[in-house]
């Protein structure tokens, strides 16, 4: 096999405090210690050097939803946020519930994506789960326990049956746990009243009860401390639930409408207090057009973009000493890779050579500087530390606002069979 050009990251501050040179070759870390002669050397003195993030919850849209986002704009947005691998959710239009639609989505993404990507299988009573697994689904879900934007809900009985099948395949079930009661939603407060914290925690418990087969579960975007306490398996939280509460927005501002809803300041603090139990921070990047979000709140779709601002917000919190760097690396890179069963990016020989390099300065987040097609962010005006340079497979794929397309890969799940 032809060797790729060799790159050395010099003077890298490792999370344990040591300083080392990291040599990258053939897409992996080949040596950690004193550097060896290389085609290119990048001095990392004074920089944050992070294993690039795996965002295990994004909605890349494309196809009929290309006005919101497509694989190119979505994965450029990912790279510019230090994310080199995204896991796409199956509530596409049409939904991803047949091997044919999965294969078609893979081939579309292969042509357009700038980052590595994986694709999850939808879960409905009619979805042929074993065939989706063989077709290369990374995981199953997000499985909707209540309807959400473009997502159909499954009943507890259907969920139990799906768990049995996913367990027998050795797959991972990822769950959007919510309870929805009918009611008008003219405001953010009323939206949160039809999708309550108590309902979310009850849904988490109902999912546990339905899982009599012991299927491996991952709870997506939990928004309250009580739901985190109720969860089994792995737990995910989003930057918007960690950093935003609904009192920060005008009551009728649909740009802040998302499922699960933004909570009160007190509820947000309770979620933050469960930081140690949160295994994964993922963005739930769910872009919609400004036009759609400018509608009255009851008509506007739910969801906010976030793949590009996730690491920047977390690193700004590291600068403010709210979070530690090792925790941010664990929750955005090491843990999601391990939950998905993919090779980790990291500093040791053999690790995937995906890194994001950051100058340690926070700037104001402005939608005009971001790359998602949707063109807005709920984090406008907050502080973020953005990557200066991003490396994927040992190759520079982003630097100072410029993209260099390398060889993004589709990462299939463990059940993938070529036949
Ligand atoms: O707010 C949301 N938007 N929550 C979801 O679960 C789906 C997402 C979307 O796809 O727009
Ligand atoms: Zn969801």
Residues in CB range of 333: below 8 A, 6 or more apart: 50, 51, 52, 53, 54, 344, 345, 346
Tell me: do 267 and 362 sit in the same domain: no
Residues in CB range of 189: below 8 A, 6 or more apart: 246, 251
The ligand that comes nearest to the alpha carbon of residue 143 is 2
Q: Is 341 left (phi over 0), alpha (psi -120 to 50) or beta?
A: left
With respect to residue 258, please indicate whether it lies within any of the assigned structural domains.
yes
Structure-derived torsion over alpha carbons of residues 284, 287, 292, 296, reported in degrees to the nearest 10: 30
Query: With contact defined as beta carbons under 8 Å apart, do 346 and 391 qualify?
Result: no
Tell me: do 273 and 395 sit in the same domain: no
With respect to residue 236, please indicate whether it lies within any of the assigned structural domains.
yes
With respect to residue 409, please indicate whether it lies within any of the assigned structural domains.
no
Atom of ligand 1 nearest to the CA of 144: 6
The last residue of one of the domains, among 340, 362, 385, is 340
CATH of the domain at 299: 3.20.20.140
Tell me: do 103 and 218 sit in the same domain: yes
- Which residues are near ligand 2, the ion (C-beta closer than 5 Å)? 142, 176
What's the whole-model pTM score?
Answer: 0.97
Q: What is the rounded distance in angstroms from the CA atom of residue 411 to the CA atom of residue 314?
A: 26
Tell me: do 212 and 168 sit in the same domain: yes
Question: What range defines the domain where residue 369 resides?
Answer: 7-48+351-403
3-state secondary structure of 335: helix
Query: With contact defined as beta carbons under 8 Å apart, do 32 and 346 qualify?
Result: no
Q: What is the rounded distance in angstroms from the CA atom of residue 143 to the CA atom of residue 173?
A: 7
Q: What is the rounded distance in angstroms from the CA atom of residue 237 to the CA atom of residue 269?
A: 13
What domain count does the chain have? 2
Tell me: do 12 and 113 sit in the same domain: no
With respect to residue 415, please indicate whether it lies within any of the assigned structural domains.
no
CA of 322 relative to ligand 2 center, distance in Å: 26
pLDDT in tens, the chain (419 residues): 445 558 999 999 998 889 999 999 999 999 999 878 888 999 999 999 999 999 999 999 999 999 999 999 999 999 999 999 999 999 999 999 999 999 999 999 999 999 999 999 999 999 999 999 999 999 999 999 877 777 778 998 999 999 999 999 999 999 999 999 999 999 999 999 999 999 999 999 999 999 999 999 999 999 999 999 999 999 999 999 999 999 999 999 999 999 999 999 999 999 999 999 999 999 999 999 999 999 999 999 999 999 999 999 999 999 999 999 999 999 999 999 999 999 999 999 999 999 999 999 999 999 999 999 999 999 999 999 999 999 999 999 999 999 999 999 999 999 999 76
Q: Is the CB of 303 under 6 A from ligand 1?
A: yes
Closest Cα to atom 4 of ligand 1: 259
Q: Which residues are catalytic?
A: 284
Could you tell me what percentage of the chain is helix, strand and coil, using 3-state DSSP and rounding each to the nearest 5? Answer: 30, 25, 45
């Amino acid at each position: 096999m032809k060797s790729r050009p060799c790159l050395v990251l010099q003077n890298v501050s490792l999370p344990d405090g040591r300083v080392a040179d990291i040599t990258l070759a053939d897409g992996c870390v080949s040596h950690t210690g004193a550097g060896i002669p290389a085609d290119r050397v990048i001095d990392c003195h004074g920089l944050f050097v992070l294993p690039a993030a795996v965002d295990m919850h994004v909605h890349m849209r494309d196809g009929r939803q290309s006005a919101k986002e497509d694989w190119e704009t979505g994965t450029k947005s990912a790279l510019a946020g230090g994310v080199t691998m995204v896991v796409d959710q199956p509530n596409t239009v049409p939904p991803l519930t047949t091997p044919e639609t999965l294969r078609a989505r893979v081939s579309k993404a292969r042509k357009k994506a700038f980052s590595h990507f994986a694709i999850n299988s939808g879960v409905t009573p009619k979805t042929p789960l074993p065939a989706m697994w063989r077709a290369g689904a990374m995981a199953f879900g997000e499985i909707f326990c209540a309807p959400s934007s473009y997502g159909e809900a499954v009943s507890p009985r259907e969920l139990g049956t799906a768990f049995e099948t996913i367990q027998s395949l050795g797959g991972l079930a990822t769950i959007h746990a919510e309870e929805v009661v009918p009611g008008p939603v003219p405001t953010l407060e009323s939206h949160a009243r039809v999708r309550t914290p108590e309902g979310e925690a009850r849904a988490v418990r109902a999912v546990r009860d339905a899982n009599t087969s012991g299927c491996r579960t991952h709870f997506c975007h939990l928004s309250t401390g009580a739901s985190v306490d109720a969860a089994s398996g792995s737990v995910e939280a989003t930057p918007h639930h960690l950093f935003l509460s609904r009192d920060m927005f005008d009551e009728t501002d649909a740009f802040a409408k998302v499922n699960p809803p933004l909570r009160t300041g007190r509820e947000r603090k309770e979620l933050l207090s469960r930081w140690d139990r949160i295994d994964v921070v993922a963005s739930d990047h769910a872009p919609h057009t400004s036009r759609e979000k400018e509608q009255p709140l009851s008509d506007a779709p739910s969801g906010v973009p976030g793949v590009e601002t996730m690491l920047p917000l977390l690193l700004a919190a590291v600068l403010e000493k709210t979070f530690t760097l090792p925790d941010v690396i664990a929750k955005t890179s090491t843990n999601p890779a391990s939950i998905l069963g993919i090779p980790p990016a990291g500093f040791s020989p053999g690790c995937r050579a995906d890194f994001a390099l950051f100058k340690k300065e926070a700037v104001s987040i402005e939608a005009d500087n971001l790359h998602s097609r949707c063109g807005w962010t709920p984090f406008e005006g907050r502080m973020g530390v953005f990557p200066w340079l991003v490396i994927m497979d040992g190759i520079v794929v982003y630097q100072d606002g410029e993209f260099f397309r390398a060889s993004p890969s589709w990462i299939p799940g463990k059940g993938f069979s070529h036949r």
